Amino acid sequence: MRRVVSVSLGSSKRDKVHEATVLGEEFVIERRGTDGDMAKFKSLMEELDGQVDALTVGGADIWVVVGERKYAFREILDLVAGVKQTPVVDGSGLKHTLERETVRNLQHSGTIDFAQERAMLVSAVDRYGMAQALDAACPHVVYGDLMFGLGIPVPLRSYKAVETVGRLFLPIVTMLPFKWFYPTGEKQDRREPKFPAVFEDASVICGDFLYIRRYAPDRMTGKTIITNTVRKADLDWLRTTGLRQVVTTTPVMGGETFGTNVMEGVVVTLLGKSPDKVTTQDYLDVLKKLEWSPQVISLDAA
C-alpha cells in the first residue's frame, strides 16, 4: 500500500484519510492540517520523512513562476529543508501542466469559448500554466496578482505585464513571511470581499479557490469558476451566489477529487522518479492513462 500525506498550513478541521486505487496501485491518502503553526508543520514533515512515499505541501506554495523564472518562498522552503528521504512536492509541477491543458481542453471541447469570454485569474504567478494558456486563448484577461497578493489596486491586463511586475517584486516578496500574501490556518475560512469591479467584469473567474472564496462578492450570477478542487460546503455557498458552473481541474481518483499537491504526490509515487526529474511529458502520460478531463459541475441543474 502506497502512502501520500499532505501536510497543510490550513485548518486541521478538514483533515481526512482516503483509500484509492490509482492505475492498479493501492494508495492511502491523508490530509493533515497544522492550523497555520509553522513549527508544527516543520516537525510533522520531519516526523514523516522516510515513513511515506510522498509528502506534499498544502495551504502554501514553495514555488511561484513568471515567464521562465522560478522563485521559492524562503520560509516554506526552510520548513521542508529537514526532509531528506521522502520526495516533497507542492503541486506546482503538475499544476502548470494540468491547468494549461484544462484551458485547452475546455476550448477544444467547446465547453467554454474563451474568445467570447472575459477572464480574471486571481494569481498568475501561482498558476503560470493557466495564465499562459488564458493569454493565448482569451482576448480579455485580468491578472489579480497585485490586487490580491499585495493589496495594490492595479489590475494587470496582459501576461507581459505580469512578467514585468513579477521579475520586479518576486525576488523581494519570496523573502518575506508567507502569511503576508496568503491566509493560513483559520484565516483561510474568512471572507473579506474586495475589488468587486474585477469580479463583476469577468465572466470566467480562475485560480486558487481560497483566494476566490475569500475575496469574491456575494453575487456572481451566471459566471463560471475554474479552480482545482472544491468541497460540498464550497458548492453550497457558490449556489447562493448565483454562479452558473464550476470546472475543477484535478482528476477523479477513487471517486474523489484531490488538491493539486496531493495529485502530484500520487503521480511522483507512480512514476518512481525524483520530483526534479519528472518532465511535462511524464505528467501528460499519466493524465492520459487516467483518462483525465476537467470536471464540469453545473450549479443550475443542482
Q: Using one digit for the tens of pLDDT, what is the confidence trace for 221-230?
A: 999 999 987 8
User: How confident is the model at residue 6, as a pLDDT?
Assistant: 96
Residue 184: per-residue pLDDT: 74
Calpha distance 47→180 (Å, rounded): 27
Q: Would strands 224-227 and 204-206 be described as parallel, antiparallel, or unpaired? A: parallel
- CA dist 168 and 175 (Å) reads 13
225-282 pLDDT per residue, tens: 999 878 888 899 999 999 999 999 887 665 566 788 999 999 999 999 999 999 999 9
Phi, psi of 201 (to 5 degrees): -75, -25
Grid cell, residue 9, equals: 498550513
Q: How much is the pLDDT for 183?
A: 75
* Residue pair 123/144 in contact by the 8 Å Cβ criterion: yes
Q: How far apart are CA 202 and CA 189, in angstroms?
A: 24
Q: What is the pLDDT of residue 73?
A: 95
Quote the pLDDT of residue 186: 73
* pLDDT score recorded for residue 255: 57
* pTM > 0.75: yes
Describe the crossing of helices 128-137 and 159-173 by its angle, rounded to 10 degrees. Answer: 160
Mean pLDDT per block of 10 residues along the chain (302 residues) reads: 95 87 92 94 98 95 90 96 97 89 95 97 94 96 96 96 95 91 76 96 95 95 92 90 93 69 93 92 91 88 50
